[in-house]
Amino acid sequence: MRTAFTELLGVPYPIVGFNRSPGVVAEVTKAGGLGVLAASAYTPEELDAQLSWIEEQAGGRPYGVDLLVPEKFADGDPDNLVASLRAQIPQAHIDFVNGLLARYGVPEVPVAPVADEIAAGFTRRGAEPLLEVAFAHRISLIASALGTPPPGLVARAKKAGIAVAALVGQAKHARRQLEAGVDVLIAQGTEAGGHTGEIATMVLTPEIAGIAGDRPVLAAGGIASGRQMAAALALGAAGVWCGSVWLCSEEDVAVQAIKGKFLAAASSDTLRSPTRTGKPARQLRTAWHEEWLRQDSPAALPLPLQMMLVTEAWRRIDAAAEAGHEGALRLESFFVGQVVGSFDAVRPAAEITRQLMADCEQRIRELGALL
């Protein structure tokens, strides 16, 4: 299939596979799509190793990285960023999280020494080392989320021949990104997992396509099947940006406990909540969110303070849930879109990629037969 996106990136399929797991990124890329790694989940040293591994697996095929570079966030002392951010977390919030884990009997685990460093990367200053690592590798696309790209990123990418993409949730966001010089707009509807706005993909995609001119638009949110991909193309998209669909792939690094919950979930079992990162993000609704919704619970802190507050809690929940701990299983959650209700099996990422494309082509042929 040829679209403005496949021509720009040189890939056979107009499918982007966004995931934190290098294995998913490599398999989507090898299957004909464009794998994009969620780079903000790593320290600079870890990211360097992961990108090197992806390049070995991809064999020269194009791939990309995505960085969360927010415009609004809590900042700290540049000479002591982690400690100065940690000092801003109120003791009441710390006590609340500790009390929550105690009520559910979640056991302690050894503290991860890099957890705060990763959370601090969700600031513009903290993201700079990750950008340096990304530009040191053979990436074909760099995506910026939660705001316009940092000054200099677009110019540096264009000089290196790297396409710049940006996620948008409103028309005004798209106009700002176009003024900043991005090459690809990702129209992410509220159905999507993770950080997302309130406008549905069906409404947002044609609106952004009408603004974008000759720059390709990818539809995101609510796309996990060939029929949904065909619908996105019909709305004016030049391809699709898929995230949630890979969470039930064999290569995804999520623990089996959460994959099992995904398979059992309905499309109505998600919500947008700031309690994981500090910004509204769609995730599987569980007892964790019910606890934060109680009248006596504290409000979520801004990014990245909320992440620093809860990252170790989630490590404990994940580990205990994987071991079958009842309390942790009640709390266990992850970012996922409304398409979770369609998950019925864990499959290889390459198989998912090829099935998406084959079913999309079949649906387009069926629609053509109606004329």
Q: Cβ(335)–Cβ(193) under 8 Å?
A: yes
CA distance 200 to 221: 8
Residue 263: inside a domain? yes
Domain count, the chain: 1
Q: Which residues, in sequence order, are CB contacts of 149 under 8 Å at separation 6+?
A: 69, 164, 166, 180, 182
Burial of 249 (0-12, 13-18, 19+ CB in 10 A): buried
* Residue 48's CATH number: 3.20.20.70
Residue 153: inside a domain? yes
Structure tokens at 212: 């974008």
Residue 95: inside a domain? no
Please tell me the predicted confidence (pLDDT) of residue 344: 95
Q: Cβ(148)–Cβ(166) under 8 Å?
A: yes
pLDDT for residue 70 is more than 80: no
Taking alpha carbons only, the member of 72, 49, 182, 166 closest to residue 122 is 72
Average pLDDT for residues 58-83, to the nearest whole number? 78
Residue 295: inside a domain? no
Tell me the residue range of the domain where 126 lies.
4-73+122-285+333-368
Residue 145: inside a domain? yes
- How would you label 256-266 residue by residue, b for 16+ Cβ within 10 Å and e otherwise? ebbbebbeebe
Average pLDDT for residues 182-197, to the nearest whole number? 96
Please tell me the predicted confidence (pLDDT) of residue 245: 98
CA distance 278 to 132: 25
* pTM value > 0.85: yes
Residue 78: inside a domain? no
Please tell me the predicted confidence (pLDDT) of residue 118: 58
Please tell me the predicted confidence (pLDDT) of residue 119: 55
Per-residue pLDDT of 336-354, as tens digits, reads 999 999 999 999 999 999 9
Structure tokens at 128: 């700079």
| Cβ atoms < 10 Å from Cβ of 289 | 17
Q: What is the mean pLDDT of the chain?
A: 92
Structure tokens at 185: 């707009």
Residue 13: inside a domain? yes
pLDDT for residue 75 is more than 70: no
| Cβ atoms < 10 Å from Cβ of 343 | 21
The residue whose two tokens read 């309390």 is 327
Residue 347: inside a domain? yes
Chain-centre distance of CA 185, in angstroms?
A: 15
Taking alpha carbons only, the member of 53, 50, 30 closest to residue 351 is 30
| Cβ atoms < 10 Å from Cβ of 181 | 16
